[in-house]
Amino acid sequence: MSSAPKGRHIAVIGAGIIGVCSALSLQREGFRVTLIDRGEPGEGASSGNGAIIGDEAVVPVATPGMLWRVPGMLADPLGPLAIRWSYLPRLAPWLLRFMAAGGARRVEEISIALAALMDGALAAYTPLLAEADATDMIRRTGWVCVYESAAGFRRYQPMLELQRRRGVPFEVLEPEALRQLEPSLAPIFDRAVHYPEVGHSVNSLRMVQVLAGAFQRNGGTVHRAAVLGFDIGPDGPQAVRTEAGPVACDGVVVAAGAWSKPLAAELGAPVPLETERGYHVQFPDPGIAPRLPVYSTERAFVATPLELGLRCAGTVELGGLQAPPNWARAEVLATHARRWFPDLRTEGASQWMGFRPSMPDSLPVIGRSPRFSNVFLAFGHGHCGMILGARTGAVVAALAADRDPGLDMTPYRADRF
Ligand SMILES: Cc1cc2nc3c(=O)[nH]c(=O)nc-3n(C[C@H](O)[C@H](O)[C@H](O)COP(=O)(O)OP(=O)(O)OC[C@H]3O[C@@H](n4cnc5c(N)ncnc54)[C@H](O)[C@@H]3O)c2cc1C
């Protein structure tokens, strides 16, 4: 793609946090941008997540210690991981790559690549939210990770070491210090780790909506239609084919979250993308007001205070894009929440399931398609899409304008497997 953005038209597929931030950043760069989604902006995985936006997520999902604990997690009905066994044959190639990513040396490399992307991720939201007149959408309260057992805390030591090596600021807390930091918690925790720099969105769906609103106010177009494929010329896609007709364009950004795989494949980038399904339960009138989000590594969920109440979001279910939700997984979160917060009011609770777009090595795919220079890939952010939305958008816009994104893009290439 030419380095002169002026007047060139880019179609961004997917109006989740990644697509909307990419669209806004491309627009700021001078491109004409159409954002295409089959639904309303933000209604995918970006709507119901844990809303955590911090720069400290430098530990990949697959780690040596984690892989050994998988059988125990699967056996526990209240555990953080579930597999739809009928989906296992389709999942197997991804699982093998996931396990390969969990070796000690690879974990170190992945962690370095995650840290490079995380660097400045929270600050990258500032200009976008200022544009949307919504800088109050992110609160920088820090967050605290709690451990119910001494053994759980001991098991996490290698991860703390990894964070220490990446320069993540944190402080280990004894039970009394945790009680002072977050008095609404039950005295059931053996240890906690406080990360003071972490932020969270007060409402992840509304945040995507206000950013999409700013994009439209600046002259951007939102085209509501499902994308079916592409009209491809000698130099790459010339139009995006949608249910509502073609959208002619000079370039394409694929930011369709967990649904990106067939679109990327058609544009020359076959990738091992899967989904890690996750759940939330949200208490609209919780009767408590935690000062900061509380996370459990052992239970793999976060309780985040939002403008909508208290949301408990997380856990992983491997089962593909088609299977219906298993709401028992959301019930598990409610069970833990009642234990954590003895004064929690649970009336009117709602449940949600979302599809994390997950690569086996916990690194997103960001960069040009190996086949077409006018195609940019921006998906696979797994557990960290909220954190990385603005940062990814800035990188995509720099690449599209042929500017140096200020980052070695090699670890995020589509053809790294
Ligand atoms: C339970 C849970 C908790 C989480 N907690 C956090 C957290 O605390 N912090 C964090 O950083 N991340 C968290 N995540 C991960 C985060 O939500 C995702 O990484 C992020 O939302 C992905 O954004 P996205 O824009 O790539 O995808 P999405 O938000 O899913 O957007 C993709 C969009 O593409 C559209 N689309 C797909 N295919 C097509 C098509 N063919 N035609 C037209 N439109 C199409 C969809 O309609 C959708 O709107 C969590 C996820 C879950 C499930």
Q: What is the pLDDT of residues 346-404, one digit of tens each?
A: 999 999 999 999 999 999 999 999 999 999 999 999 999 999 999 999 999 999 999 99
Distances, alpha carbon 104 to alpha carbons 64, 66, 69, 369, in Å: 6, 11, 16, 29
CATH number at residue 408: 3.50.50.60
pLDDT band at 130 (very low <50, low <70, confident <90, very high): very high
CATH number at residue 290: 3.30.9.10
Which residue owns the Cα nearest ligand 1 atom 9? 52
pLDDT tens for 217-273 read 999 999 999 999 999 999 999 999 999 999 999 999 999 999 999 999 999 999 999
- 122 occurs within a structural domain: no
Does residue 34 register a pLDDT over 80? yes
State in Å: Cα 361 to ligand 1 middle.
18
Q: Mean pLDDT in the chain?
A: 95
Q: Which atom of ligand 1 is nearest to the CA of 20?
A: 25
Q: What is the pLDDT of residue 339?
A: 96
How far apart are the two ends of the chain, measured CA to CA in Å? 25
Q: How far apart are CA 244 and CA 35, in angstroms?
A: 14
**Cα atoms found within 13 Å of the Cα of residue 141, Cβ hemisphere only:** 22
Which residue in the block uniquely carries the two structure tokens 């010339």?
238
pLDDT-derived band at 4 (thresholds 50, 70, 90) equals low
Ligand 1 centroid to residue 205 C-alpha, Å: 10
DSSP run (H or E) holding 355? strand 350-358
Same-domain status, 237 and 366: yes
* Structural domain count of the chain: 2
Q: Where are the alpha helices (DSSP H) in 60-142?
A: 64-75, 88-100, 104-118, 125-131
The response to whether residue 15 sits with its C-beta less than 6 Å from ligand 1 reads yes
One domain for residues 21 and 145? no
Q: Kindly state if the Cβ of 49 falls inside 6 Å of ligand 1.
A: yes
Q: Are 151 and 39 members of one domain?
A: no
Q: Which domain range does residue 41 map to?
A: 9-46+206-272+362-412
Residue 2 has pLDDT above 60, yes or no: no
Percent with pLDDT over 70 in the chain: 99
Instruction: Please give the distance, rounded to the nearest whole angstrom, from the Cα atom of residue 115 to the centre of ligand 1.
Output: 21
Inform me whether the pLDDT recorded for 67 exceeds 80.
no
User: What is the 383 CA–ligand 1 centroid distance (Å)?
Assistant: 9
Please list the residues that pair with 9 across neighbouring strands: 32
Q: What average pLDDT does the segment 275-294 reach?
A: 97
Looking at ligand 1, which residue's alpha carbon is closest to its atom 51? 49
Residue-level pLDDT at 65: 76
Q: Is the CB of 357 under 6 A from ligand 1?
A: yes
pLDDT per residue as tens digits for the range 304-317: 999 999 999 999 99
Q: Which of 145, 256, 254, 226 is nearest to 190 (CA)?
A: 145
Question: Is 283 in the same domain as 196?
Answer: yes
Residues 192 and 308 in one domain: yes
User: How far does the centroid of ligand 1 lie from the alpha carbon of residue 386, in Å?
Assistant: 8
Closest-CA residue, ligand 1 atom 48, reads 44
Q: Are residues 36 and 79 in the same domain?
A: no
* Mean pLDDT, residues 102-126 taken together: 96
